[in-house]
């Protein structure tokens, strides 16, 4: 998924808003139409026919109706992520579009937070979309005692059958209202009760983002999994939802939007962007955890729980440097003649239960990269005597055939060994476990 920030303008100031880092970032900017077209072409050539219009408040973009039509003409489905305060004149346009081609995710707060005319407009807009079938309400839980009855009333009144519930997440570098990870457990009775009350009214609730599974008891987790409120694919570990800013900067998600900003022009397609941010997130995923109990947690192994939103992990362990990361995976991370060596403070560890494996460990940060035992010969060559090319050649020589004209099967095996060794060295260099030394 990719969100397109049509504008950083917004007419509201939700206390929990995780766009704050970007909304506060310089002036209020809206995406130029030529850039909207560029983004549409980028998404189309990535075989990604979804245009998720976001902001700020996307309907405040002065050309919002033309942008909607432009994306539809390119065969895309448009997802409007909005606070539902758009000018009522837009409802005619919405009425004329197929509910399958324009869908809505509407973030609406308690009525008391709006000026009366704005609340009236929200209700009129909801009435205009009632029965559309492709409208979801977005409900943010950011207080320990959330007010929730209004969401269920809105769903019932405007015949909306889906609610997306987000435990409001912290944003690096901002001060938005959100719950501490330590407070999550006390929210579970509320969540379970809310889901049951919603179900009685025929409303399906889905939780958004990565959720720490241990906030639930076994019974609660079972109930929420069966009711599809949480999902092991969606909620255990995050795959980045890319955001594309109005100036075509890209980042991996609002919460971490302070880190790892790139530009759309640096990538050929969305898959390359995902790949880049998958590598970036991997610095934290399955290596560092937000809670001490994660270290010995059975659910971490069996359900791949990463400990909730990675922002909690980053806040606990600090920002790890990512650059230089190879955006283009085939570009080697080293110079040809440089030898590779482990710097001071990086050591190798051997494990033998359940089977032999090795880990390269940064003693200062505690960061650890586990390496399969089949790479043992390669690891012994990381003492600063060989260049990357020599290390890979020696490894392939060890594991492969010595025949002067290898068979096609042996060639395939050698090429797989070479690729595996290359990728391992790249990862070790990129994550600072190996440094380059110019040979003396």
Ligand X SMILES: C[S@@+](CC[C@H](N)C(=O)[O-])C[C@H]1O[C@@H](n2cnc3c(N)ncnc32)[C@H](O)[C@@H]1O
Burial class (CB in 10 A: 0-12, 13-18, 19+), 189: exposed
Sequence-distant (6+) residues with CB within 8 A of 214 are 185, 291, 293, 297, 299, 305
Of 52-60, 226-234, 297-305, 351-359, the segment contacting ligand X by CB under 6 A is: 52-60
In angstroms, give the least distance from the CB of 417 to ligand SF4. Answer: 33
Percent of residues in the chain assigned helix, strand, coil, to nearest 5: 40, 15, 45
Nearer to ligand X, 104 or 433 (CB): 104
Burial class (CB in 10 A: 0-12, 13-18, 19+), 201: exposed
Residue 309 and residue 179: Cα distance in Å, rounded? Answer: 12
In angstroms, give the least distance from the CB of 81 to ligand X. Answer: 4
Q: Which one of ligand SF4, ligand X, none is in contact with 291 (Cβ closer than 5 to 8 A by kind)?
A: ligand SF4
- Indicate whether 67 belongs to the interface with ligand X (CB under 6 A): no
Query: 3-state DSSP call for residue 5?
Result: strand
In angstroms, give the least distance from the CB of 405 to ligand SF4. Answer: 49
Number of Cβ within 10 Å of residue 64's Cβ equals 22
Alpha carbon of 199 to those of 74, 192, 227, 263: distances in Å?
37, 11, 9, 43
Give the residue from 71, 49, 39 showing the smallest Cα distance to 244. 39
Among 8, 107, 237, 257, binds ligand X (CB under 6 A): 107
Site for ligand X in 148-177 (CB under 6 A): 166, 168-169, 176
Nearer to ligand SF4, 308 or 420 (CB): 308
Q: Which residues of 41-59 are buried (b: 16+ CB within 10 A; e: fewer)?
A: ebbbebebeebbbbbbbbb
Q: Which one of ligand X, ligand SF4, none is in contact with 79 (Cβ closer than 5 to 8 A by kind)?
A: none
> Which residues of this protein are in contact with ligand SF4, per CB under 6 A?
10, 12-14, 17, 19, 55-57, 83, 107, 169, 209-210, 212-214, 238, 240-241, 253, 255-256, 289, 291, 293-294, 297, 299-300, 305, 307-311
- Indicate whether 30 belongs to the interface with ligand X (CB under 6 A): no
Among 18, 158, 260, 274, binds ligand X (CB under 6 A): 18
Site for ligand X in 175-194 (CB under 6 A): 176, 178
- Indicate whether 105 belongs to the interface with ligand X (CB under 6 A): yes
Give the residue from 90, 95, 45 showing the smallest Cα distance to 67. 90
Strands 357-362 and 368-372: antiparallel
Sequence-distant (6+) residues with CB within 8 A of 171 are 18, 20, 21, 254, 255, 257, 258, 311
CB of 424 closer than 8 Å to CB of 376: no
In angstroms, give the least distance from the CB of 130 to ligand X. Answer: 19
Q: Which one of ligand SF4, ligand X, none is in contact with 178 (Cβ closer than 5 to 8 A by kind)?
A: ligand X
- Indicate whether 285 belongs to the interface with ligand X (CB under 6 A): no
Among 17, 137, 155, 211, binds ligand X (CB under 6 A): 17
In angstroms, give the least distance from the CB of 103 to ligand SF4. Answer: 17
Among 42, 55, 276, 287, binds ligand X (CB under 6 A): 55
In angstroms, give the least distance from the CB of 258 to ligand X. Answer: 14
Q: Which one of ligand SF4, ligand X, none is in contact with 289 (Cβ closer than 5 to 8 A by kind)?
A: ligand SF4
Nearer to ligand X, 83 or 430 (CB): 83
Q: Which one of ligand X, ligand SF4, none is in contact with 346 (Cβ closer than 5 to 8 A by kind)?
A: none
Residue 248 and residue 71: Cα distance in Å, rounded? Answer: 17
- Indicate whether 19 belongs to the interface with ligand X (CB under 6 A): yes
Count the alpha carbons within 13 Å of 115 in the hemisphere toward its beta carbon. Answer: 6
Write the Ramachandran bin of 240: left for phi over 0, alpha for psi from -120 to 50, otherwise beta. beta
In angstroms, give the least distance from the CB of 237 to ligand SF4. Answer: 8
Q: Which residues bind ligand X (CB under 6 A)?
A: 10, 16-19, 54-55, 57, 81-83, 105, 107, 138, 140, 166, 168-169, 176, 178
């Amino acid at each position: 998924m990719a969100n397109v920030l049509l504008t950083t303008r917004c007419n509201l100031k939700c206390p929990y808003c995780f766009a704050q880092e970007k909304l506060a970032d310089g002036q209020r900017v809206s995406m130029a139409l030529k850039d909207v077209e560029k983004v549409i072409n980028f998404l189309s050539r990535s075989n990604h026919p979804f245009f998720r219009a976001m902001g700020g408040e996307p309907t405040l973009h002065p050309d919002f109706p033309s942008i909607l039509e432009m994306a539809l003409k390119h065969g895309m489905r448009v997802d409007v992520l909005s606070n539902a305060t758009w000018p009522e004149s837009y409802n005619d346009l919405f009425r004329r579009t197929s509910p399958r081609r324009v869908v809505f995710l509407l973030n609406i707060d308690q009525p008391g937070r709006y000026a009366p005319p704005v609340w009236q407009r929200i209700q009129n807009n909801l009435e205009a979309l009632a029965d559309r079938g492709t409208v979801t309400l977005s409900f943010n839980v950011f207080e320990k005692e959330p007010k929730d009855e209004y969401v269920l009333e809105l769903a019932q009144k405007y015949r909306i059958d889906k609610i997306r519930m987000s435990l409001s997440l912290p944003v690096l570098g901002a001060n938005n209202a959100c719950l501490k990870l330590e407070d999550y457990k006390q929210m579970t009775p509320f969540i379970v009760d809310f889901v049951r009350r919603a179900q009685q009214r025929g409303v399906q609730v889905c939780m958004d983002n990565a959720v720490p599974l241990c906030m639930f008891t076994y019974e609660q987790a079972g109930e929420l999994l069966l009711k599809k409120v949480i999902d092991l694919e969606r909620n255990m570990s995050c795959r980045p939802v890319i955001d594309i800013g109005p100036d075509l900067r890209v980042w991996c998600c609002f919460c971490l939007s302070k880190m790892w900003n790139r530009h759309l022009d640096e990538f050929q397609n969305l898959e390359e962007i995902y790949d880049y941010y998958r590598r970036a997130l991997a610095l934290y995923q399955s290596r560092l955890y937000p809670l001490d109990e994660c270290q010995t947690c059975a659910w971490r192994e069996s359900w791949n729980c990463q400990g909730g939103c990675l922002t909690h992990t980053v806040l606990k362990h600090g920002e790890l440097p990512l650059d230089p990361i190879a955006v283009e995976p085939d570009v080697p991370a080293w110079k040809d003649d440089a030898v590779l060596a482990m710097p001071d403070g990086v050591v190798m560890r051997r494990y033998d239960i359940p089977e032999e494996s090795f880990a390269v460990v940064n003693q200062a940060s505690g960061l650890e990269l586990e390496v399969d035992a089949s790479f043992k010969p390669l690891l012994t060559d990381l003492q600063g005597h060989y260049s990357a090319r020599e290390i890979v050649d020696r490894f392939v020589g060890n594991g492969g055939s010595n025949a002067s004209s290898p068979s096609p099967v042996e060639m395939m095996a050698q090429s797989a060994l070479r690729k595996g060794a290359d990728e391992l060295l790249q990862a070790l260099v990129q994550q600072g476990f190996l440094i380059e030394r110019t040979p003396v």
